[in-house]
Amino acid sequence: MRIKLAGGAALGVAAMLVLSSCGSGSGGSGSSGDQKASDGGQVTLKMVAADYGDGPGKPNSGETFWKGVVDEFQAANPNIKVEVQVINWNDIDKQVATMVQNGQVPDILQTGDYSGFAKDDMLYKVEEVLSPNVSGDMLQKFAEYGKVDGTAYGIPFVSSARALFYNKELFAKAGISEPPKTWDELKADAEKLKKAGVSQPFGLPLGQEEAQGESFLWMLGNGGGYKDASGKWAINSPQNIETFTYLKGLVNAGLTTPNPGTKDRKTVWEDFGAGKVGMVNGGPMSIPIFDAAGLKDKYGVAPIPGKSGPLDTTLGVMDWIMAFNKNGHAAEIKKFFDFFYTGSAAQKISDTYKLLPVTNGGIQKLSSDEKLKPFLDALPNASFYPFQDPKWADVNPEIKQTIGGAVKDDPAKVLGELQKTADAG
């Protein structure tokens, strides 16, 4: 968050198993069960969380973030101790599965998905561990995805979205006064940038890292998507074929990243930061990359252009937090969750990791940030991958592997093969 895109997402899952006792003097041991200290019935909550930072010892590490949150919470709630174990996204799912198998179930888990635990009746319902005023402030469209069979178990934790970044200096050099709103304007601006000597007018990452995300944004711009309005797979719809035909035209005209099907998002973002790219789709998490490269005040952010106008939606990304019911600490978990969402902790995540809030109140607090505003405005109407469909597990890896070929070969053929994967079985 490294957010995975939608559902285990931005929002990607984060760092080596690191046991830490955040805000308490003792180590985060692997013991579990209904723990109560002898000093006045103090309750210990065990939490497992993904690391959104650069790993142990780094200034933005998950341990550092959660220590600050827990210290503040424990000062206000001396009878509740919180021990946080931070694990990187690459290992967290496997580590948690092992904990569960060994009966060492945490009280709280923050990661990319909740649905498997909910189906196994291991989680508290959201209404049991979150006050109505807090749950009522959640972005409704996001909260709906936390439900299994109509009952909410997953609580949206952080979110992300996408928007268009453009290099103001390169735009001025090319005589472009404002960012494009339509595909025609985007192509015209890309041509001007090319004439002005910009090697990559539009950064187009269709490599394996996140081809499914870049493709989805372009599909949305033409009224398309991976499914149609009725919920049927529609990867090779006329709208999507037209979208990739347009993109292929940009590529053939030399207006994009060379060989976009082999380029990952991180590489293209780094090229934008280095001043080689005129425009690129990105998220709040790209801002630190661009700022570190020296572009701090040299880029603007705008809604992503669509065929006939700016997108009124965007790709939504979210990760989750949930509460396990084994240890019976619903009341204490509720205090911690309410503290997290109503205090400064949620905003600290945005400040530290450039991730976005999942509450209306959180959005309002950040609304004065000009660079975040296009993302915040798009969040309530976000669109998501069809990650609740079991077939997505088969389709998503195939998209990453092959959809980049749609701007090199026949778009109808490439999208048609993906449609076959979606329809199979």
Chain segment 73-114, per-residue pLDDT in tens: 999 999 999 999 999 887 898 899 999 999 999 999 998 888
Lowest model confidence (mean pLDDT) among 141-150, 315-324, 371-380 = 371-380
Torsion, Cα of 303, 304, 309, 313 (10° steps): -80
d(CA 221, CA 157): 27
**Residue 132 tokens, joined:** 């109505």
Q: What is the pLDDT of residue 40?
A: 52
Amino acid at 91: D
Whether residue 411 has pLDDT greater than 50: yes
Neighbours of 340 (CB within 10 A): 22
Q: Please count the other Cβ atoms lying within 10 Å of the Cβ belonging to residue 369.
A: 13
Instruction: Kindly indicate whether the domain formed by 163-313+393-423 is annotated with CATH number 3.40.190.10.
Output: yes
Residue 175: C-alpha distances to residues 170, 202, 251, 306, 369 (Å): 9, 16, 22, 22, 27
Per-residue pLDDT, 164: 96
For the whole model, what pTM was predicted? Answer: 0.76
DSSP-assigned states of every residue in 189-244: HHHHHHHTT-SEEEE---STTTHHHHHHHHHHTTT--SB-TTS-B-TT-HHHHHHH
| Tokens 């109140």, residue located | 361
Residue 415: pLDDT over 50: yes
Per-residue pLDDT averaged across 144-170, rounded? 92
Cα–Cα distance between 273 and 271 in angstroms, integer?
5
Mean predicted confidence (pLDDT) in 235-263: 97
Res 425: pLDDT: 62
Domain with CATH 3.40.190.10 in the chain: 15-160+317-381, 163-313+393-423
The H or E element that residue 333 is part of is: helix 330-342
User: pLDDT higher for 414 or 119?
Assistant: 414
For residue 425, count other CB atoms closer than 10 A to its CB. Answer: 7
Q: Which two tokens stand for residue 183?
A: 């595909």
Is 236 or 358 the better-scoring residue by pLDDT? 236
Percent of the chain predicted with pLDDT > 90? 61
Per-residue model confidence (pLDDT) at position 378: 82
Query: If you average pLDDT over residues 298-313, what whole number do you get?
Result: 94
Mean pLDDT of the region 159-180 = 96
- pLDDT tens, residue by residue, 56-67: 888 888 999 999
Q: 6 versus 89: which is more confidently predicted?
A: 89
Q: What are phi and psi of 385, to 5 degrees?
A: -60, 160
Taking only the tens place, the pLDDT of each residue in 360-410 is: 888 888 888 887 888 888 888 889 888 778 788 789 989 999 999 999 999
Decide: 160 and 283 in contact? Cβ < 8 Å.
yes
Residue 210 pLDDT level (bands cut at 50, 70, 90): confident
Q: Is the pLDDT of residue 359 over 50?
A: yes
Read off the pLDDT band of 193 (50, 70, 90).
very high
Structure tokens at 141: 């469209």
- At 289, the pLDDT band (50, 70, 90 cuts) reads confident
Give which of 318, 280, 303, 304 is closest to 374, Cα–Cα: 303
Work out the average pLDDT over 180-195.
Answer: 98
Under 8 Å CB-to-CB from 271, ≥6 apart: which residues? 200, 203, 257, 277
Tokens 């993302």: give the residue.
375
Pick the CATH number of 15-160+317-381 from 3.90.1750.10, 3.20.20.70, 3.40.190.10, 3.40.47.10: 3.40.190.10
Angle subtended by helix axes 345-353 and 62-76, to nearest 10: 160
| Residues 11-65: tens digit of each pLDDT | 332 222 222 223 333 233 333 344 443 345 799 999 999 998 877 888 888 999 9
Round to whole Å and give the CA distance between 280 and 183.
Answer: 14
List C-alpha distances in Å: 371 to 69, 215, 366, 368: 26, 23, 10, 9
